[in-house]
């Protein structure tokens, strides 16, 4: 069964793009193609003008579940990508220390996943993705498993980091409020096979506070626009 049909779009360097749509419409398939994990049956994925045929070392992929290795400490989990790339222990250590401080978990460096809350584990997973310093971040509902308060906290923390470095982001979410609060642009997909129903620019000023922005009239207007596009996509034949 076809997952996507005639889906084509460009993502400028440094843009934060959110993908929304019903379950099964092909959002994660887009991420997997952007990661080089699967190839499209027709068409191609281009990165800097070159066809992507395999996973790239310049891409980081973060999932909804943290996927931390239970036998490794927070620091060791955070540094695993650097270790696999052959980065020297002293350099790994410096990078790990800086990231642990950045996510506010320096005092939990030696804690194991079972000793951390879900929010803490997601912070370690985020830092693990950032540790390899990717050009592009692919994020598949990274905050979906969190409670509302922790979710807002991590959204704000991630935006703070992103607004400093401006990595290119492809962000999949079912949460329309999250998409509008975080992204520069939202692509709304129809139901399966996914097609582009709407491509909406989120012209809200930065830096943003994901909690406070939700009371802004422009945010409410854009949220309604995304919601109407989603409903239209659900009804599309």
**Residue 11 main-chain phi, psi, to 5 deg:** -125, 105
Q: What is the pLDDT of residue 151?
A: 86
Closest CA to 37 of 58, 52, 22, 21: 52
Containing H/E element for 208?
A: none
Q: What is the mean pLDDT of each run of 10 residues along the chain (237 residues)?
A: 88 96 90 92 87 89 89 94 91 92 90 92 90 92 85 88 91 94 96 93 94 93 95 77
Residue spans in the chain of domains classed CATH 3.40.50.300? 1-58+135-237
Residue 226 CB-density burial (10 A; 0-12 exposed, 13-18 middle, 19+ buried): buried
Containing H/E element for 227?
A: helix 217-235
Containing H/E element for 120?
A: helix 118-131
CATH code 3.40.50.300 for 1-58+135-237: yes
Using DSSP's 3-state secondary structure scheme, residue 16 falls into strand
Does the global pTM surpass 0.85? yes
**Residue 17 main-chain phi, psi, to 5 deg:** -110, 130
8-state DSSP, 130: H
**How does strand 16-20 pair with strand 46-47?**
unpaired
Q: What is the pLDDT of residue 189?
A: 95
Q: What is the pLDDT of residue 237?
A: 59
């Amino acid at each position: 069964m076809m997952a996507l049909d005639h889906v084509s779009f460009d993502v400028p360097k440094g843009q934060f793009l959110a993908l929304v749509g019903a379950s099964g419409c092909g959002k994660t398939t887009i991420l997997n193609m952007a990661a080089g994990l699967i190839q499209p049956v027709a068409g191609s994925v281009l990165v800097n003008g070159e066809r992507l045929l395999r996973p790239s070392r310049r891409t980081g992929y973060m999932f909804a579940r943290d996927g931390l290795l239970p036998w490794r400490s927070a620091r060791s989990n955070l540094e695993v990508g650097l270790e696999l790339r052959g980065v020297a222990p002293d350099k790994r250590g410096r990078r790990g220390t800086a990231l642990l401080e950045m996510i506010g978990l320096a005092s939990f460096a030696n804690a194991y996943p079972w000793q951390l809350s879900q929010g803490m584990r997601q912070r370690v997973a985020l830092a693990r993705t950032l540790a390899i310093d990717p050009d592009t971040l692919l994020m598949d509902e990274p905050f979906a498993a969190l409670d509302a308060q922790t979710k807002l906290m991590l959204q704000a923390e991630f935006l703070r980091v992103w607004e400093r470095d401006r990595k290119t982001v492809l962000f999949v979410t079912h949460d329309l409020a999250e998409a509008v609060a975080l992204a520069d642009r939202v692509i709304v997909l129809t139901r399966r096979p996914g097609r582009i129903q709407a491509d909406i620019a989120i012209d809200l000023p930065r830096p943003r506070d994901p909690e406070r922005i939700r009371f802004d009239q422009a945010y409410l207007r854009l949220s309604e626009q995304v919601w109407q596009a989603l409903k239209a996509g659900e009804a599309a034949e």
